[in-house]
Chains A and B, each alone.
Chain A
Amino acid sequence: MNCIKIETTDLNLYYGNYHALKAVTMDIRADAVTALIGPSGCGKSTFLKTINRMNDLIQGVRITGRVCLDGEEIYAPGVDVTTLRRRVGMVFQQPNPFPMSIYDNIAYGPRVHGEKNKNRLDEIVERSLRRAAIWEETKDRLKKPAPGLSGGQQQRLCIARALAVEPEVLLLDEPTSALDPVSSLRIEELLLQLKKSYTIVIVTHNMQQAVRISDDTAFFLAGTVVEWGRTGQFFSRPRDRKTMDYIAGRYG
């Protein structure tokens, strides 16, 4: 039984007048994979971004309710967003390495947080690339531009880049939807490795993927969380009629 890492209570989010998240209350367990599923536009990506306050970057966003990380309210006044984002890393749908070398991509995070020591940076780069299972492919070309890697490699590089700042939580927004099946599988294997030491929240359109890698699943529909719980139970005995329809492929 893992303890709770993130809890949201009555979380509402508005884009201007549009009510995008409606009273979302759910828990995310530490050192487990939580999958967020639901049809396009249901609010699952928006919910993901509330956890590291990436919605702050969008104009006209208003949030009510509470999001707590280890019991600390992250929308309270005086919260340092850079520290929050350091503790809660994020990987996006499109692999998006910075237009610089592989090494500099990984070292970017530690550097902006003040790490200047060359030896320590070397260590961080190697450790992060190893954890993201891409060290063997990149160790001889660390100084080469990262955009030269394949799509799947780029995405693992982005995971390594996120790991380099030693986060506790990793948010992934459909990390495999732009990748081929083999690359996707490698990412999934990687996530199963990583969940031993990180809390992982993944948005996915692929229900098989949710079944394969997640411990918990939450189903979003029109801005509400319809149902959430242990993945096994969620898919075999859904409590809600709408969940049943969705996982049976009747809509979405």
Chain B
Amino acid sequence: MDIGIHGVRQTAHNTPQGRLGLSVTEKRSHTQRIETAAEAIFTLCACCMVFAVGSITLYMIANGIPAIYKLGAREILFSSVWKPTAADPSFGILYVILTSVAGTVLAIFLGVPVALLTAVFLTEAAPRPLAAVVRPAIELLAGIPSVVYGLLGMLVLNPLVYRLEQWVFRGSQTHQFTGGANLLSAVLVLAIMILPTVISVSETALRAVPEQLRASSMALGASRIQTIFQIILPAARPGIVTAVVLGVGRAVGEAMAVNLVSGGCVNVPLPFCSVRFLTTAIVSEMGYAEGLHRQALFTIGLVLFGFIMLVNILLHKILREEKG
């Protein structure tokens, strides 16, 4: 439709289908059907995820609760005697919980600084040829199955830790020697295992810091080290927090490697004690557990699940606060 030179509408129309013979009101049913189908498939996939998470949660709660109900929360969560197969059985998992907490915290304290400095090195300092070696090495580290970490821990770490143990407790009458299979070994293995995650996530965060901030800091006469620690690391904080939390998640949930190097007795989490983690308790006992014992192991699973949930909620909270 044209507007005439004096603003009078000229009512000469083309054919309603235009030049290509297509009307805008005509339904194009074939394309429409594909659109609808695609949308339905996407929705279904998303629903599967939600369903999986929901059913895991329900299942864990349904199976973890009975033991708590039968024994009482205090008896199972806050008692330290774990004798599930004794004539008069006792199901206190306090030491197991404490071991997982202590092991994770120590692994984070050891691993995160190393990981952060590695990430800083890769983004800020590494000459290109060296970075080209270090980065694939880290990716490889992430891809190694955890049981292999455990095997190497047994072969390499345990003997070293045993030597240290012999030196520390030389002449001791009371210490029960662990042969190196103890909390310290487990912490060292965990610290190494969280490195790839923490390094790559924090490296991404460091790379995302605008080049301009670095330049501005240098232009004020700050040195490179000052710029890194006072501008770049703080600017990358949300990403680094994410990295640490993911590391915590990995450390809390690790079972295989820890099972091989940590000894396996239920004990107070001290560096040279043979210890049992939440994960390793389940792995090592589920094979023969029955009745209440089995239910107690599910309770341990529920506690572990609770920790992971807590870590995730914490992460969301921190990230939201950083944004707001």
Contact = CB atoms under 8 A, between A and B. Distances in A.
A198 interface: no
Contacts of B89: none
Interface in A100-114: 100, 108-109, 112-113
B85 interface: no
Q: Which of B214, B222, B226, B235 has the most CB of A within 10 A?
A: B222
A195 interface: no
Interface residues of A, number: 25
Contact of B220 (A94, A100, A165): A165
A243 B212 CA distance: 32
Given A96-B210, A98-B231, A108 B217 contact: yes
A52 B217 CA distance: 13
A89 B220 contact: yes
Interface in A157-212: 158, 161-162, 165
A82 B231 contact: no
A99 B234 contact: yes
SS class, residues of chain B in contact with chain A: helix
A29 interface: no
Contacts of A156: none
Given A92-B212, A94-B212, A112 B235 contact: no
A89 B212 contact: no
B222 A82 contact: yes
Nearest to B209: A99
Nearest to A111: B230
A45 to B, nearest CB: 12
Q: Is the interface of A mostly helix, strand, loop or mixed?
A: helix
By CB atoms of chain A within 10 A, which of B213, B217, B219 has the most? B219
A85 B234 contact: no
Interface string B189-230: 000000000000000000000101111111111110010001
Among B210, B213, B221, max chain A CB count under 10 A is at B221
A52 B219 contact: yes
A44 interface: no
Given A98-B235, A99-B235, A100-B234, A109 B213 contact: no
Nearest to A59: B128
Interface in A102-132: 108-109, 112-113
Contacts of B235: 98-99
